[in-house]
Structure 1
């Protein structure tokens, strides 16, 4: 037995190898060499032992659910003993070697994670069969038999069978094999062969190749991070491969082991690559991450390493995280996970700094840097192009320097030496009330926050060093805080820092293609620093149990004067934080063609400058949520709202009345169509006045051409790409009848589309012209010829009543399959003041394939007319808004009728629907 398992308590409870060995000998007595008889019996015995040992390892995890080290060590120990027993049984009773020659020797090596003595419940058993020379007939028999037995045991085996020469040759040419062999550990078999391959590996592969190995492993790590989202704060992290996960810790060990030829993590302290405290942090983070990975494997019964929302709930319960201080158990668990991931990041930086200092040639960097420009740094010094400290007590002498170092890094475009970051992290507790009130400290912080250079990078450094949260304690409360939903991709602190970075990129003109209006407006802002502070504070009060906008505005009123903002600037920041969701809520949930929508919005905004600031804050807030959330549809809606509101605020009153707007649109359409006056008049009088107000000029022209081309047909369907809106426009011209809307909506979803906007118009001659904007369920393009053809056929079939829509819709899989993890209680908001002409109903519910169909069918049953629908999806949550009238065109104001409507919609949102005719 190796020293690796010396600290593992009560090993015999896991597996008693001696007793099993005696039992195998007893079974084999008198039947040696009878492979067909013996091997199944040996496998059965070992399978029972394996199951018993795994149960013991699971019990150890249940007893200490946040500590995984003992469990993975127990499983590796168990696997060692099974393989030893199997080797002995194979060579003693199944294939006795007789007089073995020197070539008929086998060394069994554990490699990779198994070589480290770490095995999650469903990890692969990585094993190398090494022979002194080319395999002989006997060695091939033994290896083949062992592999078959291991597969029969249900083990997932990653194996290689090579001679010593082949092993060394492969290690030289393949980084993965070299890394696996770096952790090679003797299990059983010929010790001399093991010693020989290890000596050859040290002398022929490792010697004098440390620099190349380090560079390759760091490059491999960067590629892995990019593949996994390039942030340790993604809300569904990969526990093994993600940034801040187990693989990052393993990479540190590999590098340290390769460079220093140490055998354990503890020896990295003696090598000067980790301090004692850093070793404790390493072991603590590793223990927790292994526990999470073991729970993942046990719950899913497979090698699952992604911490998805549904699994987060169960693991939080298993690890005894309960609700406390306004946070749910799962949010507390994930916060602890992210703090451990942050610790892994800190360790990585420190480790590389030690490595740099240890291996760099004098005056040169071992780990390359782009920043090597000497500057005058107010007492700070340059160490190989990075800001460092002249003495270890430099921050203690003047704690304001904890802010100054980051301001200097930003000002001069310099990196900060990891040893200085470590000192800042160690001394961050020196930031007390006096430092927070210090004018110099606040000026340094504001310089970083509002920097035109790279505020995101420097703020992230400040956050990693814990200086950010100490200097702004309210920000410290949201560090590593996740939002348990499928909409937000990052923790609150990461989302905020990304939003600041996006604002700086827009200001520099880097994102003009995606944000042309925002880029133009940045140069016109009067209150630039107000905007940066508002972006910093917009989510700062999340997780406090109340409305984070209201609470955040109060934080702003207290904090902004300290940062040096005037009373007027403070009030504007507080207003922006209070209303930071107003613009997106109005643009995405309300009908922007309804003039009261614009007037209600401008009544709150009140000034063109606030409008500009609010647009900028809204844009970066949405885009910083995560990849794929921002799209051209959202950009167009925000641009439309901004333009309409800006006109009102600039003029102070309506420029044109309703009648003038209708006449203007009609004249523009007649010119576009080039129709004669009589022909155009016949066309125009078919439409109600509301139609002209609701639709933009390009849709009016599209609809008119569609209707003229349809002639006397009772049904005409068009589906074509609408690039200005980032969606596909589906137009249905049909004889109007009750239920038209819900049937079209069901057909579009059945064809794989997702409706994001709908306008329904009843014409004066009994026909209907309905316009739907459609994307795919995740907000992407829905514009291939096959998709467009499928949507046309689906609508035709639905309107011909060829099939029941509801059963087929409910059979469709969710686009976000893990939405089932979230319990969302449906909520109905009825507003008769949001519009002068319509009753506005807003429905919040969990997203599912048949949701819009069910809601539309409930409205049909309620005998109301739908004039427009606006569909928004926030991860697992859908928010659908309908503009309604009764069948006579008036608002729905009867209290009893509204109650009935609300009840029907609540049933539909919860999945209860009358399936007759549906």
Structure 2
């Protein structure tokens, strides 16, 4: 039996050991001999896994670790099969019906395994099962279970596989990943050729639609953002499964077998393939370490595991950033790279098959390309309600177009064509100091930021392409940055963008029930743009050695003139950024019935306009931290602080009607008592 020269165990030596333990060839295997065989297999498997972990900690190569673990499993299964055939159920001359192939399927079929992964096997037969075949399969499975492995298995003929793959997308995907493991090779080749001819041919659009829908459902279940601070490495957005989905579709649609084939097919550039491999290697390293650390198939990178993971991967602390925060920043940058690759891949799917695959176009929501002009622009066009560049040199000729495209998308409520987004990502180097200081570019950006439409959506696309971090380098520093705290659910950049989204939601009047005071006072704020800019900048100095509020105020003082703000506007933004935590801290930690608390707070705020802005900013900030962080109690404390402070700043006259305050208080009390029996209310 041949084995992989890089394997962590010697299969031939192991076979010889088991033969010696079995007793006389052809005689029934005694319980004692069987126990000895299983015990030796357990030892070898444990030694092999320990060696794989040692090598992972030494070289840090995640994909290679997954290959080593898969190779270990391959050798064990081959050895067990050969032992069963030679020593437990020997047959001198097997009939045609007693041919058998062991096929690795699912993730195991890709030749990669994490330490806690299931081992998915297909026992492939030419016809129906025979008593001998059934005995061999049963022996293999029982030994694998005795080794403590989770084994997914099926025993089918080639015809059964084809029939089931036609109707079941899970089985179809499993067969797509099939890899010959041991046994009758021609039988496996028959499965592959029939699968291509009878299942794959002509069904590409159907498969793509199913896989993309499956991906969207998975993201929904795991949390739609790739910037959740306790990510699921396997199934989360930007995780391993997203990369696997791309490769499933590539194998099915382009009939490729390797990453190099994707480059030859024009799907990825060589640099993009390198990005794919780096992302995959990093995610595999994290996943394998997770399983080794916990001793189980743990896929969520929870807070209690992140610090040890950072140490294992060799991260060290830098000024303002802990080792664990540097590791997690790298993690989220990799997740973003996975998102970029997904965009590029879907773009290639659409582009390569726009004309030849009308069914695919329908499934991807595409119609025949129809171009129309955008009023006042010759550089951009609309294709199927998506903004695209009008030519290949639009960004190079005028780099301000890298901001203008997002402004036009917001203004005319357009989605983004993947061609344009891919070109924007490849043109980031054009955004230099000259573009950053360009008056029109800054005007367009501020209009995007303070849009009355959906600024969160457009800002997120700017961030995903890298334009936002390149145009505002201080924002770029907090991209993918996490704060090692169970209080924060998202990375800093995602938190800032979400806070803008909540502010826009309040301004549109969509949060009046949950946030009555903020919704009431926001329309009366004199300079809404100042509020949007302050909220965008409030956490922009996170990760620096000094207090982020003070450092952020300095950043605001530098950036606001660039954004076109006057002296007075700049001072207001600077004050809001420096004091953005003040209202929340006082409301939640001080006695609001103490007159001195109110007077001290009013002395710091100094004006009613600042009080209004600070209240709204505080609400949006807390709401954007994550699900469940905002609650009615915090809302009531903030409103109480506002109501007590307002008369101090206005000479004793409240601008919020007393009746409305009473009604709001009654409504809150009713909500708080809603679970009580009526007689106790």
* Equivalent residue in structure 1 for 2:282, among 278, 288, 297: 288
Residues in 2 aligned to 1:294 and 1:382: alpha-carbon distance in whole angstroms: 45
Is residue 200 from structure 1 mapped to residue 194 from structure 2 by the alignment? yes
Alpha-carbon distance in structure 2 between the residues aligned to 1:481 and 1:726: 37
Residue 609 of structure 2: aligned partner: 609
1:227 maps onto 2:225 in alignment: no
* Preserved CA contact (<8 Å) 2:646 2:654: no
Give the equivalent residue in structure 2 for 1:589.
589
CA distance in 1, matches of 2:105, 2:617: 52
Distance 1:162 1:698 in 2: 67
- 2:197 and 2:572 mapped to 1: Cα distance? 68
Q: Which has the greater radius of gyration?
A: 1
Unaligned runs of 5+ in 2: none
Contact 1:633–1:727 (8 Å) recurs in 2: no
Q: Which of 37, 40, 56 pairs up with 1:42?
A: 37
Shift of 1:651: 2.8
Could you say which residue in structure 2 is the equivalent of 1:104?
A: 98
Give the secondary-structure state (helix, strand or coil) at the position aligned to 2:153: strand
Give SS of 2:120's match: strand
Q: Where does residue 211 of structure 2 map in the other structure?
A: 217
Q: Which residue of 2 aligns with 1:59?
A: 54
For 1:120 and 1:698, the matched residues in 2 are separated by: 55
Whether the 8 Å CA contact 2:372–2:383 is kept in 1: the answer is no
Runs of 4+ in 1 over 4 A off after TM superposition: 362-366, 369-373, 652-655, 696-699, 725-728
Q: 1:211 to 1:698 in 2, by over 3 A?
A: closer
Shift of 1:698: 12
The Cα of 1:784 is off from its aligned counterpart by: 7.1
Q: Tell whether the 8 Å contact from 2:103 to 2:121 is kept in structure 1 after alignment.
A: yes
Q: Residues 131 and 163 of structure 1 are in contact (CA less than 8 Å); yes or no, is this contact kept in structure 2? A: yes
Partner of 1:374: 372
Paired with 1:487 and 1:259, the residues of 2 have a C-alpha distance of 43
> Could you tell me whether the CA contact under 8 Å between 1:172 and 1:205 is conserved in 2?
yes
8 Å CA contact 1:632–1:724 kept in 2: the answer is no
Against the structure 1 CA distance between its residues 584 and 369, is the aligned structure 2 distance closer, same or farther, given a 3 Å change threshold?
farther
Aligned 8 A contact 1:633 1:726 in 2: no
Residues 383 and 275 (structure 1), Cα distance of their counterparts in 2 relative to 1, 3 Å cut: farther
Q: 1:644 to 1:241 in 2, by over 3 A?
A: same
Q: Distance in 2 between matches of 1:477 and 1:201?
A: 49
Cα distance between partner residues in 2 of 1:309 and 1:257? 36
Q: Does 1:528 align with 2:528?
A: yes
Q: Deviations over 1:323-356 (max 9, x none)?
A: 1132111110000111101100100111100011
Change (3 A) 1:473 1:445: same
Measure, in 1, the Cα distance between the counterparts of 2:642 and 2:539. Answer: 23
TM-score (norm: length of structure 1):
0.70
1:451-483 per-position Cα deviation (integer Å, ceiling 9, x unaligned): 111111111111111111111111111111101
Q: Deviations over 1:544-577 (max 9, x none)?
A: 1111111111111111111011111111111111
2:619 corresponds to: 619
1:725: how far off? 8.0
Secondary structure of 2:337's counterpart equals: helix
**SS, match of residue 380 in structure 1:** strand
Aligned to 1:635: 635
Contact 2:25/2:86 (CA < 8 Å) preserved in 1?
A: no
Which secondary structure does the structure 2 equivalent of 1:512 belong to? coil
- In structure 1, distance between residues paired with 2:612 and 2:670: 22
CA-CA distance at 1:70 after TM superposition? 1.1
Q: TM-score, normalised by structure 2?
A: 0.93
1:265 aligns with 2:259: yes
Q: How many residues are treated as equivalent by the alignment?
A: 667
Query: How far apart in 1 are the matches of 2:302 and 2:496?
Result: 23
1:117 counterpart SS class? coil
- For residues 174 and 406 of structure 2, the distance between their equivalents in structure 1, rounded to whole angstroms, comes to 40
In structure 1, stretches of 5+ residues that fail to align are 656-663, 665-695, 700-720, 729-780, 790-918
1:493 aligns with 2:493: yes
Give the 3-state SS of the residue equivalent to 1:374 in structure 2.
Answer: strand
- The separation in 2 between residues aligned to 1:444 and 1:644, in whole angstroms, is 39
Structure ranking higher on relative contact order (CA contacts 8 Å, 6+ apart):
2
> Structure 1: how far apart are the matches of 2:370 and 2:528?
31
Q: Take 2:259 and 2:147, find their aligned partners in 1: how far apart are those partners?
A: 32
Partner of 1:18: 12
Which stretch shows the higher mean deviation, 337-346 or 353-362? 353-362
* Contact 2:373/2:380 (<8 A) preserved: no
- The answer as to whether partners of 2:279 and 2:338 remain within 8 angstroms in 1 is yes
Match of 2:140 in 1: 146
Query: How many Å apart are 1:392 and its aligned residue?
Result: 3.4
1-side partners of 2:640 and 2:371: how far apart? 47
SS at match of 2:180: strand
Cα distance between partner residues in 1 of 2:533 and 2:144: 61
Give the CA deviation at 1:605: 1.7
1:345 aligns with 2:345: no
Q: What does residue range 299-698 of structure 1 map to in structure 2 within 5 Å?
A: 299-361=293-355, 367-368=364-365, 374-376=372-374, 377-652=377-652
- Equivalent residue of 1:159, what SS? strand
Does 2:27 correspond to 1:30? no
Contact 1:168 1:200 in 2 (8 A): yes
> Using the alignment, how far apart are the partners of 1:73 and 1:300 within structure 2?
20
Between Structure 1 and Structure 2, which shows a larger proportion of strand residues?
A: 1
Q: Helix, strand or coil for the counterpart of 1:305?
A: coil
Secondary structure (helix, strand or coil) at the match of 2:96 reads coil
Q: 1:384: Cα distance to partner?
A: 4.4
User: 1: distance between equivalents of 2:670 and 2:538?
Assistant: 28
Output the CA distance in 1 between the equivalents of 2:119 and 2:451: 51
1:87 and 1:235 map into 2 onto residues whose CA distance is: 44
In 2, the alpha carbon distance for the partners of 1:454 and 1:653 equals: 36
Contact 1:479-1:491 within 8 A present in 2 as well: yes
